[in-house]
Amino acid sequence: MDAALSELYALTENGIKPNVAATAKEHLVNRTTLYKRFQGLTVGRDTALEARRSLSREQEEKLVKYISFIGMEGYGKALFVDTGVLQKVRELEQLQAGAKEREEQEKAQRARERAEARELKAAETLRKRQERQAAKDARMAAKARKEAEVAARKAAAHRKDDDDDDDDDYVEERQPRRSTRQAIGKNN
């Protein structure tokens, strides 16, 4: 990668527009990575690691404020180096990071509790639905039994009426029906 970058920089210094794709192919490196590094959009691994080791802008601001505070107290800025204030600043940041981590853990715990509550609610809803269905089935079975009993009573009453009707049928055969008698009377 470094050889390819050196070649691109050399071409640029000589006033020649470099061909990044050909250079990448020649040196067997990724064309996109080479182009980004050449344009300065990304940095090399060593530079990135060094940037991680150095203080961030926020850390530097905190450090300057703390140094100013110590200077105002009359201790002098040399005390900063001797007492390890930088370590204290880092410990403070770690405590803040720990607080963030605890907050994230609490959020995760609350999310788990909500999920468990949803599962319990779903189970309760299912149980209630099953109870309602069982009650409905029991009502329908009772209704069917009642209808069967009513049908059996009607059938028994009908059989009894049929037995009684045999005698009535005989009588009816001997006596014409009323409508028949009326028709006979009108004809006379």
**Could you tell me the residue ranges of all domains in the chain?**
1-54, 56-173
How do residues 6-44 score in pLDDT, each as one tens digit? 888 888 888 888 888 898 888 888 888 887 777 765 556
On whether the CB atoms of residues 38 and 5 are closer than 8 A, the answer is yes
What is the pLDDT, as a whole number, of residue 44?
A: 63
What is the pLDDT, as a whole number, of residue 99?
A: 84
pTM listed for this prediction = 0.31
Helix, strand, coil share of the chain (percent; to 5): 85, 0, 15
Low-confidence ranges of the chain (pLDDT < 50): 79-80, 82, 168-172
Cα–Cα distance for residue pair 85/59, rounded to 1 Å: 12
Cα–Cα distance for residue pair 104/7, rounded to 1 Å: 48
Q: For residue 23, which of 13, 11, 8, 10 has the smallest C-alpha distance?
A: 8
What is the pLDDT, as a whole number, of residue 20?
A: 86
What is the pLDDT, as a whole number, of residue 43?
A: 57
Cα–Cα distance for residue pair 37/1, rounded to 1 Å: 9
Q: For residue 23, which of 44, 2, 46, 47 has the smallest C-alpha distance?
A: 2
